[in-house]
Amino acid sequence: MTTARQEVLQRIRAALLTAVLPMPAEPALMAAPVGDTEDLVDVFRREAEAVGAVVHGPVSPSEAAACITRVLRAAGARRLLTWNPAEMGVAGLAEDLEREGFETLDPRLPVDPANRAKALLQLGEAEVGLTGASAGLADTGTLVLRSGPGRPRLACLLPPVHVALLPARLILPSLADFLSGAAQAAMDHANLVLISGPSRTGDIELTLMRGMHGPREVHIILLADSEP
Amino acid sequence: MKGTRVAFHSRVSLALKDVPLRSALDRATTRLQSMREIGLTSLADPDAVRDRARRLRASTLQRLDTHLEAFETAVVARGGQVHFARDAAEARRIVLELAASHNVRRVVKSKSMVSEEIGLNPALEEASVEVIESDLGEYIVQLAGETPSHIIAPAFHKTKEQIGLLLHEKLGIPLTVDPATMMAAARSRLRDVYLTADMGISGVNFGVSETGTLCIVTNEGNASLSTSAPRLHVALMGIERLVPTMADLSLVLPILIRSATGQKLSVYLDFITGPRRLVNGGDPDGPSELHVVLVDNGRSRVLGSELAEILYCIRCGACLNVCPVYREVGGHAYGSVYSGPIGAVLTPALHGAGVGSELADASTLCGACKDVCPVRIDIPRMLVRLRSNAVEHGELPLSFRLGLRLFRLAATWPWLFRAAARLGRIVTRALADQNYFRRLPGPLSGWTAQRDLRGFAPKPFSTLLAERRRKRP
């Protein structure tokens, strides 16, 4: 008996013998955007704000922890769904969060269904999700997050407020710059998510509203490499 | 087929009488059209991007078998599982078996046109599996017991008053006309669903054959949540939906998103490669299993047909918004999952055997769909092809066929043509009012219900031409 797989592939091969797939001539190379000498951080800030994110900093390493706790407090955080502080590139962050009295939830979901469901319900209680970012895209004000050990996917999705820490040196010009080198990153991580502003919908009479499923607020704290 | 043609025409008549529907249609399509315009023209060189994207679609389909095999290998290499489905029934069976073997009682779904195409929701419900749509538009449509009317904005045919009443009846919230209150109610209800669902089902905008990655585009974040929180992720994907490399996505993603909503980028772009990883300490969350269902359901047949070009479609919905027919009657009149110009070709193409060919009538052949298509699909050419197929297969009403045969007869015999024209002039002179027929009798009365029919010119073109030649040799 032929399997569905064999049959579908056979059908495709047979179809390709007669397929008419019109194709235009290769167009001339696209002109690169000219005169774009604007600082990537400035572009990133402008575009991220245009899609509704709040951008803080860049803050120097010595100011970072204070800025983070200030943003967390302002967002009404008590319980945090957070990446492992070691994944966020801010020295002493774990101690600061503890000293400030934030409760950090264990983001690891058990594999067995019953305990997984229980853990999920608890994670749903967090007021704020705190994550790092592996890149920023200036042209669209986008954050790039990679899943992995210590980097739960749900931290940027479940809580109503998402606070992301982005080292300013990781800002790339555009989506194309990210995708041209993304093959290995895609294979190495079960999930890459690109986030441009807070969750939104236009499904009721095309009225634009924030906070449909993901967070209604996204704060991006830009981290500078060194003291000014 | 004649029965379906009649059904189609009666759905169109109903839609045309639906005044609130038509004002909603007008508002939404005009808005979406202008957003697309802004989005696409802000690209550095939109025409070159579109040509390149079209080349990419064509060249990928030329080697679809190899790309599919590479994609399958890559998904499996990252721990995912791949299932091929020859048709809708097989695709449904695969999902139902997965649900049964994993003891799934509740499914959360993010938007998938393929799932609509294969009729998945009714099949799951019949098997006592609860299935809940998470895209707000799809959720509204599901609560109302309807189907989506637009690829991008599934519920835009409903007013906020209708949605407020619906949520009041179905969710028991106080009656409201405030969209934000409605959204909050849906958010809180769907939040519970994410956290308690056993399986997440998603569509796929593009599969990347080099890496086995699924690329999913949303603004609400519902695909991210549906594919991260539940313990199982099942992705439904048409076999034509591949791009060779991650880098190729930088060609198709921007034009998809800009053509659909005018945004530079959607709020969320997910790249999913395999299930939750368990090595090196392991991922803290994500699904334990990822199943990709590759659905043929007529696509391989379309690939070998004169309609193959329709497989270039990236489902942006731009052709719906500009279509003078869609703008008047909306998506439901088409009676198919895929509506508008793209649906008028895709529906008969996927079904084959003349099913849905009456939808090819739903066009003025104005070419607006071809003009806005981000990959420049020649939809009018295929609509004409479908119409001539329908004539050849005798699917048209007798009167129509008789009329065409009469015309052919006249057009092939010059003396007959001239005689008929003379008769026409005599009738015009006798019955027309200033060379216009204001009202035609009997079965022809429909033509003059909204407009006048122009009569025959007093002097035929052939005479004018002959006179002109005589004057200026």
pLDDT in tens, B117-166: 999 999 999 999 999 999 999 999 999 999 888 988 899 888 889 999 99
Are residue B234 and residue B381 in the same domain, yes or no?
no
Report, as an integer, the average pLDDT of A105-121.
91
Window A:63-102, CB contacts with B under 8 Å: none
Are residue B262 and residue B334 in the same domain, yes or no?
no
Please tell me which of the candidates B213, B247, B304 has its beta carbon nearest to residue A19: B304
Question: A129-145: per-residue pLDDT in tens?
Answer: 999 999 999 999 999 99
| Residue at B49 is within a domain | no
Choose one of B274, B297, B320: the last residue of a domain. B297
Q: What pLDDT does B93 receive?
A: 98
Are residue B128 and residue B263 in the same domain, yes or no?
yes
Report, as an integer, the average pLDDT of B93-122.
96
The C-alpha of B328 sits at a distance from chain A's nearest C-alpha, in angstroms, of 17
| Residue at B315 is within a domain | yes
Q: Does position B1 have pLDDT exceeding 50, yes or no? A: no
In which region does residue B206 sit, left (phi positive, over 0), alpha (psi from -120 to 50) or beta (all else)?
Answer: beta
Are residue B277 and residue B315 in the same domain, yes or no?
no
- Cβ-Cβ contacts under 8 Å, B254 against chain A: 175
Q: What pLDDT does B27 receive?
A: 87
Q: What pLDDT does A33 receive?
A: 58
| Residue at B47 is within a domain | no
Q: What confidence category does residue B263 fall into, taking pLDDT thresholds of 50, 70 and 90?
A: very high
Q: A5: Cβ–Cβ under 8 A, 6 or more apart, which residues?
A: B72, B84
Window A:39-58, CB contacts with B under 8 Å: 47, 51
The C-alpha of A51 sits at a distance from chain B's nearest C-alpha, in angstroms, of 8
Q: With CB atoms and an 8 Å threshold, state whether B27 touches A8.
A: no
Q: What pLDDT does B281 receive?
A: 81
Q: Does position A183 have pLDDT exceeding 80, yes or no? A: yes
Are residue B412 and residue B383 in the same domain, yes or no?
no
Are residue B363 and residue B384 in the same domain, yes or no?
yes
- Cβ-Cβ contacts under 8 Å, A154 against chain B: 228-229, 285
Interface residue B144 vs chain A (CB under 8 A): no
- Side-chain-side CA neighbours of B99 within 13 Å: the count stands at 26
Q: Does position B42 have pLDDT exceeding 90, yes or no? A: no
Report the length, in residues, of chain B. 473
What is the total count of domains within chain B?
3
Q: Does position A108 have pLDDT exceeding 90, yes or no? A: yes
Q: What pLDDT does B114 receive?
A: 96
Report, as an integer, the average pLDDT of B279-290.
91
Q: Does position A16 have pLDDT exceeding 80, yes or no? A: yes
**What percentage of chain A exceeds 90 in pLDDT?**
82
- Cβ-Cβ contacts under 8 Å, B261 against chain A: 202
Q: What confidence category does residue A37 fall into, taking pLDDT thresholds of 50, 70 and 90?
A: low
Nearest to B75 by CA among B278, B271, B312: B271
Choose one of B348, B381, B396: the last residue of a domain. B396
The C-alpha of A61 sits at a distance from chain B's nearest C-alpha, in angstroms, of 28
Are residue B340 and residue B233 in the same domain, yes or no?
no
| Residue at B102 is within a domain | yes
Cα pseudo-dihedral B374, B376, B379, B380, rounded to 10? 130
Interface residue A193 vs chain B (CB under 8 A): yes
Please tell me which of the candidates B137, B213, B229 has its beta carbon nearest to residue A186: B213
Q: What pLDDT does A31 receive?
A: 61
Q: Residue with structure tokens 């990153």?
A: A185
Q: A14: Cβ–Cβ under 8 A, 6 or more apart, which residues?
A: B300, B304
The sign of the CA dihedral B434, B439, B445, B451 is positive
Q: Residue with structure tokens 């607006």?
A: B368
Q: What pLDDT does A88 receive?
A: 93
Domains and CATH numbers, chain A: 39-223 (3.40.50.10420)
| Residue at B58 is within a domain | no
CATH of the domain at B283: 3.40.50.10420
Are residue B109 and residue B227 in the same domain, yes or no?
yes
Looking at chain A, the number of H-run helices and the number of E-run strands are: 7, 12
Q: What pLDDT does A198 receive?
A: 97
Interface residue B280 vs chain A (CB under 8 A): yes
Interface residue B228 vs chain A (CB under 8 A): yes
Are residue B371 and residue B319 in the same domain, yes or no?
yes
Are residue B119 and residue B227 in the same domain, yes or no?
yes
Please give the residue range of the domain that contains residue B431. Answer: 400-471
Report, as an integer, the average pLDDT of B407-413.
89
**What percentage of chain B exceeds 70 in pLDDT?**
99
Are residue B1 and residue B84 in the same domain, yes or no?
no
Window A:160-189, CB contacts with B under 8 Å: 175-176, 179-180, 182-183, 186-187, 189
Let me know: does A193 contact B227? Beta carbons within 8 Å. Answer: no
Query: Can you tell me the distance from the alpha carbon of B212 to that of A178, in angstroms, rounded to the nearest whole number?
Result: 18
Q: What pLDDT does B434 receive?
A: 86
Q: Does position A36 have pLDDT exceeding 80, yes or no? A: no
Report, as an integer, the average pLDDT of B4-12.
83
Query: Can you tell me the distance from the alpha carbon of B453 to that of B120, in angstroms, rounded to the nearest whole number?
Result: 48
| Residue at B12 is within a domain | yes
Q: How many CB atoms lie within 10 A of CB A33?
A: 10
| Residue at B50 is within a domain | no
Are residue B239 and residue B380 in the same domain, yes or no?
no
Question: What Å distances lie between residue A42 and A55, A175, A222, B429, CA to CA?
Answer: 11, 17, 11, 75
Question: B304-315: per-residue pLDDT in tens?
Answer: 999 999 999 999
Please tell me which residue, B8 or B60, carries the higher pLDDT value.
B60
Q: What confidence category does residue B358 fall into, taking pLDDT thresholds of 50, 70 and 90?
A: confident
| Residue at B444 is within a domain | yes
Choose one of B396, B424, B439: the last residue of a domain. B396
Interface residue B444 vs chain A (CB under 8 A): no
Q: Does position A34 have pLDDT exceeding 60, yes or no? A: no
Q: With CB atoms and an 8 Å threshold, state whether A205 touches B160.
A: yes
User: Can you name the residues that pair with B207 across neighbouring β-strands?
Assistant: B214, B242
ipTM metric: 0.96
User: Can you name the residues that pair with B133 across neighbouring β-strands?
Assistant: B109
Angle ∠(B238,B66,B96) on CA atoms, nearest 5: 35
Please tell me which of the candidates B62, B231, B249 has its beta carbon nearest to residue A179: B249
